[in-house]
Amino acid sequence: MSTVDKMLIKGIRSFDPENKHVITFFKPLTLIVGSNGAGKTTIIECLKLSCTGELPPNARSGHSFIHDPKVAGETETKGQIKLRFKTAAAKDVVCIRSFQLTQKASKMEFKAIESVLQTLNPHTGEKVCLSYRCADMDREIPALMGVSKAILENVIFVHQDEANWPLQDPSTLKKKFDDIFSATRYTKALEVLKKLHKDQNQEIKTYKLKLENLQTLKDAAYKLREGIAHDQSRTESLKSQIQEFETSIQDVDAKIHHAEVTLKDLRKLQDQISTKTAERSTLFKEQQKQYAALEEENEDTDEELKEWKTKFEEKVAELESKISKLERELTDQETKSSFLRKTTDDCFKEISKLQTEAEVNLSLKNERDSAIRNIFTSHNLGPLPSSPFSNDDALSFTKRIILRLPDLEKDLQDKKKSNEIELKTAWDRYMVANDQWTTADVQRQAKVDLKSGLRKRIEDKENERNSLELQISNVDISHINEREKNMRTEMERKKNLIAERDFESNITQKQTELYSIEQKIKALTQEKDIMVGDSDERVKLSLKKSELESQKRKHRKIIDDHREKIRGVLKGRLPLDKDLKREITQAVRAVTMEFDDLKNKSHEAEQEVKMLQTKIQEDNNNISKLRKDMESRKRYIESKIKALDRQYSTIDSYLKALETAKEKRDVQKSKYNIADGMRQMFDPFERVARAHHVCPCCERSFSAEEEDEFVKKQRVKASTSAEHMKVLAVESSNADSLFQQLDKLRLAYEEYIKMGKETIPNAERELKKHSEELDQKSQALDDLLAVLAQIKSEKDSIDVLVQPIEAADRLFQEIQACQKQVDDLEYKLSFGGQGVKSLEDIQSELNTLQITKDSLHNELEKLRDDQRYMEKDMSNIKDRLHALCAEKVQADNVFRDVRKAEEELERLVEEKSQVELDEKYLKETIGPLSREKDKLLNEYNELKAKLNLEYEEQSKQKMSYAQEVDSIQKVAFKIKEFHDLKKGEKLKELQEKLSFSELELQKCEAKKQHILSELERNRDVIRSRDKLRRNIEDNLNYRKTKAEVDELTREIESLEANVLRVGGISTFESELVKLSRERERLLSELNRCRGTMSVYESNISKNKVDLKHSQYKDIDKRYFDQLIQLKTSEMANKDLDRYYNALDKALMRFHTLKMEEINKIIRELWQQTYRGQDIDYISIRSDSEGAGLVLTAIGYVQVLASLIIRLALAETFCLNCGILALDEPTTNLDGPNAESLATALLKIMEDRRGQENFQLIVITHDERFAQLIGQRQHAEKYYRVTKDDQSSEGYSIHGRVKIPSFGATGFGLPGKISNIKVILNGGQRVTFLRPDGFFSFHNVPAGTHLIEVAAIGYFFSPVRVDVSARNPGKVQAALTETRRGLHEFVLEPLREEQYYEVREPFNIMSIVKSPMGMMIGFMVIVMFLMPKLVENMDPEEIKRAQEEMRSQGVPSLANLMPGAGRS
């Protein structure tokens, strides 16, 4: 039986790649405990990977399974798993698997670098190392361990994440059970048989079709042979007729040839005549046209006419030369005339402009002088000389006016500062009063809110107190104590009863007796089978031996021929003969699957690479398009900026240009508004002066002359200011237009900025991401293609071996069968010679043993049922006891909460009364403060209005003066500009230039008229000469055409004479038609004969070729062979159908038997483990549709069911492997079921005590579960897995809890030490004590922490623990109750806990102080005092009061008193 001894882990997950971590597996129990995340499950993962080669779930193709290179600070980490185990043959084997994880530029690369099996040579004792491919290693190790790979994966080494696989869907579950039952090969055999049967049916149909086809071909071949003989006789008669027709045709051809030659010559002459006639007709028509066009027919000879033509050309050339010269002179004169006209027009325009400017300059001087005089007069700046002023005088007067402007500005600023100081003083007084009022109001509102909050809290506390008092009234502590005592007594009684029955020893004894009886039955059955032999077995033995030797020789020859190829395929191994075909088939299947998988992956990777290339191309195009768009926007914005403002030319200056344009627009608009205000003052000033005869500014009285002068100046200023307003309006409009145009570019500019800062960078990041992904995919594709080529070469080398290996395996199977038959015969013959019992005796003994076995089995089941019933009853009592203790603790908490609520209520009432007093005081204080605040605010507003009015009046005066100064400066600037440009001198120069240009223009016009008259005269001469030249040319052309017509007439007459000598064309044409018809008739007959003969010959050759065709070759033999093949295939197909049905029934029977055995074990384990009352047992259903577990329950039941199914499968299938690993078996299990699971595991270990190689590996974080199963008789030690103390995760805290005489005295409750909890940081972490009282917390960060101990019956002081980060691992502890430091971290209880209050003794005052006592005392006092009070009252008052009470339906108090009736 195979077991595991040791395992070395290095560089796997969180295990350090530099250190070796070794774990030894004990028998029968290896217990591994540790907190979550410490690396416990990594041990199961390493065991599973070593034995099966399967990576754990969520390993990301191995990337997260190997230690991260980034964590190690390396670019490459290596991991290794080394496992030493014993095989099923008790042979020591070491499995080594090594891996490598490399951090590349953009990805992690995982690679398995070594797979080795080490064994000891039994002869030499040396280590033998065999290196395997991973696939071979994955097949080899399960074979060595004696179980299938499916058992290792799904039963023995199951990952925590896959522990609930029995609860998956039925189809997946059936597949797993097929793998576990090793029924996959039989299922595949069924599929192969079914496929063969289907293929065979298809082949039979094909054979039938082929047979019908061959029958048709056989009949067609007979018909072809008959057709060939008939066509050959007809062909010979047609050949003689063809020879006669050929002779006749040759004679007719000779006659036709002679007629065609003669006819050809005649037609050639006729064509020449026709051509000449047509040419003559055309020339004759041309001759007539030329004659009609002649103005005069000249009688001179041709030579004379030609001489006239030559002299005429010379004269015409002279006249044309003279005309060209005159035209050039005329053009020159026109150019000069146009230039002079343009010069004259320009001078006129310039003179008019300068004259206008001179007039404007004169009016500006007058305006300047009047403005200076008005300002000096209105502001008393001094005396002035008489008008007009010289330029120097005007400049000095203007400077004096400008110097007055800063004084006015300074006066205005002084006024503003004094106003601000007065306003600030008034506002400060108001703010002081306002702050006082606000503070008082806020305090009052806060007190109101606080009072409402306190009122609500008082109501809540009263409700809470009432509800708690109601709960107290329903609690009966004495009844709870009585029930607890009864339950503990009942529990002790049940424990004693279970101990007396001693179920475990009785069940073990019964199982031992049952096992010995089963062994005896098995031995007797074998003995019975042996005695059923036949007498003639020796003859069969000799025949089988000779057949066996022959088959061995053939098998040995095939193996020797292909030995080297097999070693090459299996990596140097030559497996046993029985495993040879399986090894080769597995190798073929593995290589084929790997090849197909790699091919599909390479195709997918190629598609991904193409897709990424397309995306990158799209990204590049998008980026290019965005950049072009961005550049075009930039050019557009820059061109607009440059066109609008030459000062700015780049896009970066856009914002500055926009700001400048906005400022300029605002300045121009302000200037325009100021000028408009000044213009509007002129008309009111004039009306005031005319109406009141005083100055509107200083109110000085005017004389009539002064009034007229003032009005005149006002009108001059109004006219000049209107022109100035127009200029300012134009400038303001231009500035506003510039700003609007620049502002329209804002959207384009923002899009440009967004494109440069967001859109293009995002697109570039996307491109970079796709490029990196493309590099990864391309590298992966290259790797896949390289591996694919290697796998293809391996596949080809393996495919060559398939056929010979199948033959060798078939021979081996026959050898095995034959050898088995020989061994059976030899055994039977050797056994039959001994003295044995008779068959009847053996059968009788078998019946007796079977009866004994059944009775023992019934007794065993009864014992187990009794045990389950008593354990179930005991569990129910424990549950009720726990619930009662919780109820008692809850009642104590309610009493404590009532006292606390009453104290809190008294405190809140006192606080509420204090708040009401504060609120009343603040409300009285707010009234005077509010009136003072309103008064100060009114004073401030009045002062502010008064000061603002004074400031505005002074500001208007200053603004008016500034506008006048500005208008004078502008007028002075324009006057200065006129003089600086010397425009008066330019006017005189232009007038002189105009007179000279007009004189030159008159001369040019006279010369041009002379040239025109001379040119017209020469052109008339040229026109008359042209007419004469045309007449001479027409006469020469007419005479030439007439000569050509006469020559053609002579040639036509000669050709007609030649035609008449040869003969007529029609005679030869009729004879040629007759000969052609005769030839066609002969050819038709010849062709008919030849066609008929060719048809016969083609039929003969076609039939011969058809007979030579492959379909007619050996047609009779092929028909007979096909008939035999059809009959044999039909018989073989019937045999396949019978084989399929037999194997299917056997497989279903095997599944049924196995399922019954598994369900039996599952039922026993379930009844031992499950503590609930709702599920009696569970089972797995197996039928033709699939397998499934029918279970609908909460999570922990499903987890428990999965565990029990795995235990049952291990019991059934792990006969050669005694290993079982449980990873976190208590996940989702409650306390009772976890304890039951621990009990079941202990029972399994007890049952397997006699089995030497049984191993149970349990990995858990549940300390209590570990204590339950980790008993000393099963495991003397256990492993605790933690992370390193010096790691970045934190540090470890170790301590011990010491309780002397635990639970023996006082109110301390007896219990287990494992029930004591140690709590870190108020419940952040919780742990239980180990059996020796020690506890540990791991991965605790540096800092201050609080540890508390929760133990029923004892009070422990909380402990402050300081974990030092400066001195790693240093821990200091101190008790918070006594402030005492602990040198050793040992915690002891300070006192025993008192859960119940001591009953107080009887006290008469307690009755008096109670509510009922006080009510009785009050009633007694009323009974004695009321009659005395009634006697002293007025009788009339008593009577009236009694009547009112009777009218209201209330009984009189006097009637209720004993003394009232008597009075």
Give the residue numbers of the binding site for Zn(2+). Answer: 695, 698
Q: Which residues contact 218 (CB under 8 A, 6 or more apart)?
A: 1115, 1116, 1119
Q: What are the residues facing 821 on neighbouring strands?
A: none
For the beta carbon of residue 940, count every other beta carbon within 10 angstroms. Answer: 19
Q: Which secondary-structure segment (H or E) carries 259?
A: helix 184-293
Q: Are strands 29-34 and 1255-1260 parallel, antiparallel or unpaired?
A: parallel
**Cα distance between residue 434 and residue 163, in whole Å:** 76
Sequence letter at residue 822:
V
> For residue 1250, what is the DSSP state?
T
Task: Determine the 3-state secondary structure of 1323 from DSSP.
Answer: helix
- By the 10 Å C-beta count (0-12 exposed, 13-18 middle, 19+ buried), 1429 is classed as exposed
Output the 3-class SS for 356-423.
HHHHHHHHHHHHHHHHHHHHHHHHCCCCCCCCCCCHHHHHHHHHHHHHHHHHHHHHHHHHHHHHHHHH
Helix (DSSP H) and strand (DSSP E) numbers for the chain: 29, 23
In angstroms, how far is CA 596 from the centroid of its own chain? 29
**Cα distance between residue 1255 and residue 1221, in whole Å:** 8
For the beta carbon of residue 49, count every other beta carbon within 10 angstroms. Answer: 23
Take residue 653 and report the two structure tokens written for it.
Answer: 């200056």
> For residue 837, what is the DSSP state?
-
- By the 10 Å C-beta count (0-12 exposed, 13-18 middle, 19+ buried), 770 is classed as buried
**Cα distance between residue 455 and residue 447, in whole Å:** 12
- By the 10 Å C-beta count (0-12 exposed, 13-18 middle, 19+ buried), 1178 is classed as buried
For the beta carbon of residue 206, count every other beta carbon within 10 angstroms. Answer: 12
**Cα distance between residue 793 and residue 594, in whole Å:** 12
Cα four-point dihedral sign 967, 971, 974, 976: negative
Report CA Rg, the chain: 65
Cα four-point dihedral sign 729, 735, 739, 740: positive
Please check whether residue 1212 is in contact with residue 1157, taking contact to mean a CB–CB distance below 8 angstroms: yes
**Cα distance between residue 245 and residue 1233, in whole Å:** 119
For the beta carbon of residue 588, count every other beta carbon within 10 angstroms. Answer: 17
- By the 10 Å C-beta count (0-12 exposed, 13-18 middle, 19+ buried), 106 is classed as exposed
Please check whether residue 716 is in contact with residue 710, taking contact to mean a CB–CB distance below 8 angstroms: no
Task: Determine the 3-state secondary structure of 85 from DSSP.
Answer: strand
Cα four-point dihedral sign 868, 872, 873, 877: positive
Q: CA distances (Å), 98 to each of 11, 16, 17, 83, 95, in order?
A: 10, 15, 12, 12, 10
Identify the CA nearest to 573 among candidates 88, 905, 117: 117
**Cα distance between residue 769 and residue 784, in whole Å:** 22
Please check whether residue 1184 is in contact with residue 1214, taking contact to mean a CB–CB distance below 8 angstroms: no
Write out the binding residues: 695, 698
Q: What are the residues facing 1223 on neighbouring strands?
A: 1259
**Cα distance between residue 81 and residue 145, in whole Å:** 17
Please check whether residue 433 is in contact with residue 929, taking contact to mean a CB–CB distance below 8 angstroms: yes
